[in-house]
A and B are shown apart, each in its own frame.
Chain A
Amino acid sequence: MLIRFITLIFLILASAAPSFAQAPDPKPLFNQLADADFNAAEKLVGQIATTGDTRVVPALNAFAEGDLYFRKSDKAVFAAKPAGAQLELIDPVTGESAGQVAKGAVTKIRINNNLRRAIRAALGGLTLMSPDRGTRLSAADAILRSPSAEALDLVEAALAKETDATVKARMEEARAVSLLSSDRSIDDKRAAIATIGKLGGRDALGILNAVSSSIDASLKPDLDAAITAIQNEQQLWDMAQNVWYGLSLGSVLLLAAIGLAITFGVMGIINMAHGEMVMLGAYSTFVVQQVIRENAPGLFDWSLTIALPVAFLVTGAVGLVIERGVIRFLYGRPLETLLATWGISLILQQSIRTIFGPTNQEVGNPSWMSGSFPVGGMTITWNRMWIVVFSLSIFVGLLLLMKRSAFGLQMRAVTQNRRMASSMGIKTPWVDAFTFALGSGIAGIAGVALSQIDNVSPNLGQSYIIDSFMVVVFGGVGNLWGTLVGALSLGILNKFLEPSVGAVLGKILVLVLIILFIQKRPRGLFALKGRAIEA
């Protein structure tokens, strides 16, 4: 009730404002546009705006679109929209139809980019008075983006009437921005600089830099201080953005490597087909999405949730077959395992290529994975955000499985002392088989996530296998925490090297650093402690 009342007052104020201010009628101003050149037109647009008459908004919009015409017979100006072969003329102020004319009877008023900018500013000023809160807010934003001295009076007029705190704050900023390019007093401008300085961000920096050449010398120190402050803040945000990119890359690495951490780290199997398990997971997602697209398009947002168990089961089963069929004959011969699994990876790749073709497959993003949201001075895309969350939850889940479940206990027992575990009644061959299947299944789940950010092609796995090995070796074999720390630190290191040396060289440097690191700590960051000596 109250809101409606306030809105009513605003409506009355907005419509009454022109008559109280005894502003000139905008109609003759419009008519002058017929003879005006670009410069004159720019002034006229400013004058139309200062009338504060919100009824002219549609006409100005039409002008910006190039739909403003004057009638050749009397040089009266109208907005126009096509009506069949003819044009329907619309009065620029009242918005009433003024009948239809042939296209030859009117001439289009020409427009250029300067004029468009002036119109945008004018519209910004006019919509500041709008009764709708959202419109006022976006009007203030428009002025913030393209400030002009002409808008200043309008902003101040609007400020005087504004009651909403958020809108008011935004308008204050818009006022400060416009003030800088006006001819107000030094003190006003100083205050304005302070306001903009507090605002921060790239836009504010751009505004301050733009006026720095033309501004009064006495304001220079204030301006420079504000610019430095914003730049410092900007640097912090850039740093934060880099850390975020690094975390995001790190979580991708973590996803790709965590299955390997189980097969390589816990079981000591070099599974070169691990990348292909990731690839199979991604293709499972593709198949699930195809089925959903054809049978139940409404479920598309759930496709990833459905794909997760499917991918886990598919790749887990493939892993089980590989372990029972090949790897179990090769225990204790790690180098041979490496060769055999490489052979398996070639076969898997070629099978997928034969079935699905060599080209990239289209895997869609569900709606909750697309788009982005701002955090302070940086933007975070939803898919990256979800992948970070997802990989961390996989990590936690796996950690719990290893530490808290009976299967995890058996797994650790077999890792530490196979013969003793066997003597205690643990079926070691089955623990081996299911551990391998678990590692493969996790790789499949990783494939579901990676299908969202990478090309789904038969070569998908190849691009991750070396990185994954690096992560596991760097983090320390046989330790999930090592994999976590390894993945995140490699991700962040990569992203911090990238801006200064470029992506490829950054990657090379990381590889060289890891090779050097291995020399120093051959068992990785978190080495298992023990007195065992090899061979």
Chain B
Amino acid sequence: MISAFIFRALKGHIVVTVAVILAFAVLVPASNLLLAPDHALHIPTYVMSLMGKYLCYALLALALDLVWGYCGILSLGHGAFFALGGYAMGMYLMRQIGSRGVYGNADLPDFMVFLNWKELPWFWYGFDMFPFAMLMVLFVPGLLAFVFGWFAFRSRVNGVYLSIITQAMTYALMLAFFRNDMGFGGNNGLTDYKEIVGFSVQGGGTRAVLFAMSALMLALCLLIASAIVNSKFGKVLVGVRDAESRVRFLGFRVENIKLFTFVVSAMFAGIAGALFVPQVGIINPGEFAPANSIEVVVWTAVGGRGTLIGPIIGAVLVNAGKSYFTGAFPELWLFALGGLFIAVTLFLPKGIVGTIQSGFTGRKAMRAAADAEKGRGDVTAVAQAAE
């Protein structure tokens, strides 16, 4: 049964995408490490880190697509889960600094020494252990999503109301993390990392491994997401998106379905955040900013929501565009981004991938219909293609 669940995930286009991602996971680090710096195909370390960052964003967009594209929950707070995962990783990395900080205090991170704290707060316990920190990367965003979703879905807060309170959630978290006495480094966040599981964070090899890990996790999460949406559960999920009341009247517990999806999605976002932090070298409360979460929505919308592959493509494209624009015409970037928001919603509601797919299936349906008219095809092919 489990194998059936997994096999169902392996739709043609998903397999291709996973293969491409895995190829990236091998080829990019290989080119970075093995080829000489002056070789034409050599990828410099900073470009690899940048691409690693895009992959983390792609994973975040995938997480959002799972809830928005398939469950109809437009979360404007997914940046919060991303940032929480990032903070969990950041806390582990802070503990790894040990006595190499500015103040040389082995027990406390620098900012706590600076704030004159005497001992480690309880919520920092255990973060010196890598497995525990990784568990927290999943657990903390998952728990927040569970508590938040449990309240929200049970009382049937949906549509725009849900969007607005998720935005309020990430805004409140941002304000909270900006406070110095929260114990998360306040304004400056957590930075100045030294090493991760014994390897220097700055080292070229570590960077390559981090990139490969990002690609692997993206592929893995894509498979999981595909398995979920292609299962029977996935069909119900789409039902919830399109006609929530009807699904409820059919006897499904809509709130549990939503809650499960929301929590899984939050955990994906947490993983993305955890991989993001060592590659950019800092996590600060700015990641909680509501604007960041909305930007994730636009990546997903550009790529095509409800397609799983679309958000990955959208995230990479938009961020590559952002890197280019902020370098070449810094003042034009917001115009471009704003224009993108409007253009996509007005002219490309299905996104890039969605439009291509529907064009593809549309042609198939037309061909089948033409065939049926000539008496060569059968009616079921038309129905299947139209589905």
* Least Cβ–Cβ distance between A432 and chain B, in angstroms: 17
Cα of A333 to Cα of B163 in the assembled complex, Å: 14
Which positions 335-392 of chain A face chain B at CB distance < 8 Å? 335-340, 342-347, 349-351, 353-354
Residue contact B335 to A522, C-beta cutoff 8 Å: no
Cα of A466 to Cα of B345 in the assembled complex, Å: 22
Instruction: Assess A330 versus B160: contact at CB under 8 Å? Given A515-B165, A522-B155.
Output: no
Is A329 at the interface (CB under 8 A from chain B)? Answer: yes
Q: Which residues of B contact A518 (CB under 8 A)?
A: 152, 155, 157, 161, 165
Residue contact A343 to B161, C-beta cutoff 8 Å: no
Chain A contributes a number of interface residues (CB within 8 A of B) equal to: 45
Closest to A506 in B: B175
Instruction: Among A462, A504, A520, find the residue whose CB has the most chain B CB atoms closer than 10 A.
Output: A504
Instruction: Assess A346 versus B245: contact at CB under 8 Å? Given A326-B342, A504-B179.
Output: no
- Chain B 58-87 against A: per-residue CB contact (8 Å), 1 yes, 0 no? 000000000000000010000000000000
Q: Which residues of B contact A337 (CB under 8 A)?
A: 345
Instruction: Assess A347 versus B339: contact at CB under 8 Å? Given A508-B175, A511-B168, A511-B172.
Output: yes
Which of B159, B175, B339 makes the CB contact (< 8 A) with A343? B339
Residue contact A350 to B342, C-beta cutoff 8 Å: no
Residue contact A334 to B159, C-beta cutoff 8 Å: yes
Which of B155, B168, B334, B346 makes the CB contact (< 8 A) with A347? B334
Closest to A510 in B: B172
Is B214 at the interface (CB under 8 A from chain A)? Answer: no
Which of A326, A350, A466, A511 makes the CB contact (< 8 A) with B334? A350
Instruction: Assess A515 versus B294: contact at CB under 8 Å? Given A508-B175, A522-B157.
Output: no
Closest to B297 in A: A339
Is B341 at the interface (CB under 8 A from chain A)? Answer: yes
Cα of A261 to Cα of B244 in the assembled complex, Å: 27
Is B260 at the interface (CB under 8 A from chain A)? Answer: no
Residue contact A329 to B159, C-beta cutoff 8 Å: no
Cα of A350 to Cα of B349 in the assembled complex, Å: 25
Q: Which residues of B contact A270 (CB under 8 A)?
A: 160, 163-164
Instruction: Assess A507 versus B338: contact at CB under 8 Å? Given A469-B164, A473-B164, A514-B168.
Output: no
Is B228 at the interface (CB under 8 A from chain A)? Answer: no
Instruction: Among A504, A520, A535, find the residue whose CB has the most chain B CB atoms closer than 10 A.
Output: A535
Q: Which residues of A contact B335 (CB under 8 A)?
A: 346-347, 350-351
- Chain B 142-173 against A: per-residue CB contact (8 Å), 1 yes, 0 no? 00000010011011111111011101110110
Cα of A27 to Cα of B179 in the assembled complex, Å: 65
* Least Cβ–Cβ distance between A472 and chain B, in angstroms: 9
Residue contact B168 to A470, C-beta cutoff 8 Å: yes
Residue contact A336 to B334, C-beta cutoff 8 Å: no
Q: Which residues of B contact A522 (CB under 8 A)?
A: 155-157, 161
Which positions 338-365 of chain B face chain A at CB distance < 8 Å? 338-342, 344-346, 349
Cα of A334 to Cα of B298 in the assembled complex, Å: 15
Is A512 at the interface (CB under 8 A from chain B)? Answer: yes
Instruction: Among B163, B165, B169, B339, find the residue whose CB has the most chain A CB atoms closer than 10 A.
Output: B165
Is B176 at the interface (CB under 8 A from chain A)? Answer: yes
Give the number of residue pairs across the A-B interface with Cβ within 8 Å. 128
Q: Which residues of B contact A508 (CB under 8 A)?
A: 172, 175-176
Q: Which residues of B contact A334 (CB under 8 A)?
A: 159-160
Which of B159, B175, B301, B341 makes the CB contact (< 8 A) with A534? B159
Residue contact A350 to B341, C-beta cutoff 8 Å: no
Which positions 92-112 of chain B face chain A at CB distance < 8 Å? none
Cα of A507 to Cα of B175 in the assembled complex, Å: 8
Cα of A519 to Cα of B152 in the assembled complex, Å: 6
Residue contact B338 to A515, C-beta cutoff 8 Å: no
Closest to A336 in B: B345
Cα of A137 to Cα of B2 in the assembled complex, Å: 92
Is A533 at the interface (CB under 8 A from chain B)? Answer: yes
Is B184 at the interface (CB under 8 A from chain A)? Answer: no
Instruction: Assess A339 versus B301: contact at CB under 8 Å? Given A350-B335, A511-B172, A534-B159.
Output: yes
Is A505 at the interface (CB under 8 A from chain B)? Answer: yes
Which positions 299-348 of chain A face chain B at CB distance < 8 Å? 326, 329-330, 333-340, 342-347
Residue contact A350 to B175, C-beta cutoff 8 Å: no
Is A219 at the interface (CB under 8 A from chain B)? Answer: no
Residue contact A515 to B168, C-beta cutoff 8 Å: yes
Residue contact B349 to A336, C-beta cutoff 8 Å: yes
Is A516 at the interface (CB under 8 A from chain B)? Answer: yes
Closest to A348 in B: B338
Cα of A46 to Cα of B340 in the assembled complex, Å: 80
Which of B155, B160, B338 makes the CB contact (< 8 A) with A344? B338
* Least Cβ–Cβ distance between A463 and chain B, in angstroms: 11
Q: Which residues of A contact B341 (CB under 8 A)?
A: 339-340, 342-344, 346
> Which 8 residue pairs across A and B have the least CB separation, nearest first?
A343-B341, A346-B338, A347-B338, A350-B334, A511-B172, A343-B338, A519-B155, A340-B345
Question: Measuring CB to CB, which residues of chain B are less than 8 angstroms from any residue of chain A?
Answer: 74, 148, 151-152, 154-161, 163-165, 167-169, 171-172, 175-176, 178-179, 243-245, 290-291, 294, 297-298, 301, 331, 334-335, 337-342, 344-346, 349
- Would you give 30 A-B contacts (Cβ < 8 Å), ordered by A? A270-B163, A270-B164, A326-B342, A330-B346, A334-B159, A335-B74, A335-B159, A337-B345, A340-B346, A342-B294, A342-B341, A343-B339, A343-B341, A346-B335, A346-B338, A346-B341, A349-B334, A350-B335, A354-B331, A462-B291, A466-B167, A469-B168, A514-B165, A515-B172, A519-B157, A520-B155, A522-B155, A522-B157, A534-B158, A535-B243
Sample of 5 further A-B pairs with CB below 8 A, known A350-B331, A466-B171, A535-B244: A342-B341, A344-B341, A347-B338, A518-B165, A533-B245
